[in-house]
Structure 1
Amino acid sequence: MLARLKQAGQAEEGMSIVDHLTELRQRIIIVIAALVVGVLIGFYFASSIVDYLLLIPEKLVYLYPGEAFFVHLKLALVGGLGLAGPVILYQLISFILPALRQNERTILFVGLPFVLLLFLAGVVFAYKLILPLAFSFFMGFGTDSLEPLISINSYISFVLGLIIPFGLVFQLPLVVVLLTSIGILTPQILVRYRKFMVLIIFIVSTVLTPPDIISQVLMALPMIFLYELSILLSRSSFWRRKKRKE
C-alpha cells in the first residue's frame, strides 16, 4: 500500500487546479461507495457483533419498537467506517501526498502503521481488561430485590463509549513523538507540566467515559502510563533531533 501511495504521489505532481478538483470528486465517490458497502456488511453482521460484545450473562431488552433497529444501524455505521477505513486513508493520503515535502512524507509513512496499531491496542485493551472490570463492578450492586434490566441501546452505547476513546487515547505517545520531532515539544516541558497533565487527564477521562467514577479512573490510569511513556520517547526523539543538527 505504501509503495502504491508513493507512486500515486509522484504521478500527481504538476496537475492543474481543474485536474485536482476532478480527482477530488472521484476520490469522494470512491469513499462514499466504500462507506455504503461497509455499512451494508456491518448491518448484515450487526447481530453477531452484539453477541460478541455481550460480556454479561443477562439478556438485553429494547424499550421501544425501533430501538433494536437503530442499535443495529449504529453498529453498521461504526463497522462500516472501520471496514472502509483503509480505503478512506488511501484516498486521503493519495490526494494530499503531492503537496507534502519529502520529510513530511517520511513521517507520514512511518507514523501511519503506528497510528493503526496503537488504536487497535487501545480498543483491545479496553475490551479485554477495562470492560470486564467495569461490568463486574457495576453488576455487583444487584440484589435479590434489584435485578438489572439493561436495554440494548444503553449497553452498546456504554461499550462503544469506552473502547473507542481508549483507541484515541493510545495515540498519545505518537503525538508526543511527532511534536518533539518537529521542535514544538521537549521532554523538559513534559516533565515540568506533569502534574498539570495528570489533572487534564482526569478531566478528559471524565468527559470521554460514561458518567461513573470507576470508568473514569480506569481510563485515567492507562493515560498516565502513556504520558510517562511519552516522556521517555520524547527524550529519545529530542536527542536524535539534536544530533542531526550537530
Structure 2
Amino acid sequence: MSQDDIEASRAPLIEHLIELRRRLLYSVIALAIGFVFCFFFAADIFNILLKPYEWAVGSVKDLELIYTAPQEYFFTQLKIALFGGLFLSFPVIASQIYMFVAPGLYKNERGAFLPFLVATPILFLAGASLVYFITMPLVMEFFLSMEQAGGEGQARIQLVARVSEYLGLIMTLIFAFGLCFQLPVLLTLLGRVGLATSEGLKTKRKYAIVITFAVAAFLTPPDPISQIGLALPTLLLYEISIISVRMIERKRLQAEAEAEAEAAE
C-alpha cells in the first residue's frame, strides 16, 4: 500500500471519529437535560412509582416508607433522575445512532433498520406497563401477605420498605421486562441477516422455555409471581418472533423468485 493510500484511508477514519464525537455529544446533552428535568420532579416521579404499592396496600394512608441513612433518599432521587433522563432522552439517542449508521447503509437497508428503531421503545414501554399495572401490584401483595398481625404467642411482623429498596425492586423489574420484550426485535434482525430461521426457532422452542425461566429467575426477585409474569410474556414474544421471521423468509423467497423471472426474460 502506498503512502497516498494510507493517507486516503486515514482521512475517512478521522471524519467518522469526528461524526461519532458529535453524535455522542448530542446524546450526552440530551441525557443531561433529561436528568436535570427529572431531578427537579424526582419526588413526584417517586410518588407515581409508588402507585403499584398503594394498589397492593389498598390505601395511601396505610403506605409508609423509610430511609435509614441521611443520604439514602438523595441518592434515590439521583437514580430516579437518571432513570427518567434515559427514558426521556432515548428518542434523541436513538436518532443519533440512526444518523451515524445511516450513511453507511443502502436505501433498502435504511428502510429495514428504521422500523426496528421505532419498535424498540414501544416494546420497552409495553414491558414497563406490564410491570407497573399488573406484575408489581401482584408482587407487593405477595410480600404483604407474609405480614403477621401478632397476638398471643406471635410477634407482630410488618413490612416497612426502604425507599431505595422499593425503587431498586421496581426499576429492576421494569428493566428486566423491557429488555426481554426486545426479543422480537433481536430475533427478527437475526432472521433478516440469515442467522436465524423460523424452523430453527421452532425446533429450539424447548430450549427457549428452559432458558426463559432461568433468565426470569435471575432477573427478578425470588418470588414466583414476578418470575412467571416475566417468563410467560417472553415465551409469547418468542412465538411472535417465529411468525415475524417466517414472514421475512416468505418475502425473501418472493423477491428471489421475481428476480429469477426477470433474469429468465
Q: State how far apart, in whole Å, the 1-side matches of 2:22 and 2:244 are.
A: 40
Cα distance change of structure 1 residues 205 and 98 upon mapping to structure 2, 3 Å threshold: same
Equivalents in 2 of 1:19, 1:149: separation in Å? 56
Deviations along 1:116-140, one digit per CA (max 9) or x if unpaired, are 2111111111211111111112211
Match of 2:17 in 1: 21
Deviation at 1:212, TM superposition (A): 2.6
Structure 1 residue 74 corresponds to structure 2 residue 66 = no
Matched, 1:185 2:196: yes
Which of 44, 53, 66 is residue 56 of structure 1 equivalent to? Answer: 53
1:108 aligns with 2:104: no
Deviations 1:9-68 (A, max 9, x none): xxxxxx844333333333322222222111111111110111001122421100111110
Identity between Structure 1 and Structure 2 (%): 38
* Partner residue of 2:123 out of 118, 137, 144: 118
Out of 212, 232, 237, the residue aligned to residue 226 of structure 1 is 237
Structure 2 residue matching 1:63: 3-state secondary structure: coil
| Superposition RMSD in Å | 1.6
1:94 to 87, 93, 99: 99
1:37 correspondence with 2:24? no
Match of 1:242 in 2: 253
Q: What is the Cα deviation at residue 182 of structure 1?
A: 2.2
- Would the alpha carbon gap of residues 211 and 38 (structure 1) be closer, same or farther in structure 2, given more than 3 Å must change? same
Question: Any idea what the Cα deviations from partners look like across 1:118-168, whole Å, max 9, x if unmatched?
Answer: 111111112111111111122111121111110001100000110121111
Residue 174 (str. 1) matches residue 185 (str. 2): yes
Query: Aligned to 1:56, what secondary structure does the other structure show?
Result: helix
Name the residue aligned to 2:212: 201
Compute the displacement of 1:69 (Å). 0.4
Letter in 2 for 1:35: L
Q: Choose 45-54 or 227-236, whichever is displaced more.
A: 227-236
Structure 1 unpaired stretches of 5+: 1-14
TM-score (norm 2): 0.82
Q: Deviations over 1:75-94 (max 9, x none)?
A: 11111111221221222221
* Structure 2: gaps (5+ residues): 1-10, 55-62, 150-155, 258-265
Q: 1:233 and 1:94 mapped to 2: Cα distance? A: 26
Q: TM-score with structure 1 length normalisation?
A: 0.88
Counterpart residue type for residue 162 of structure 2: S
* CA distance in 2 between partners of 1:218 and 1:21 (Å): 43
Question: What is the alpha-carbon distance in structure 2 between the residues aligned to residue 230 and residue 89 of structure 1?
Answer: 22
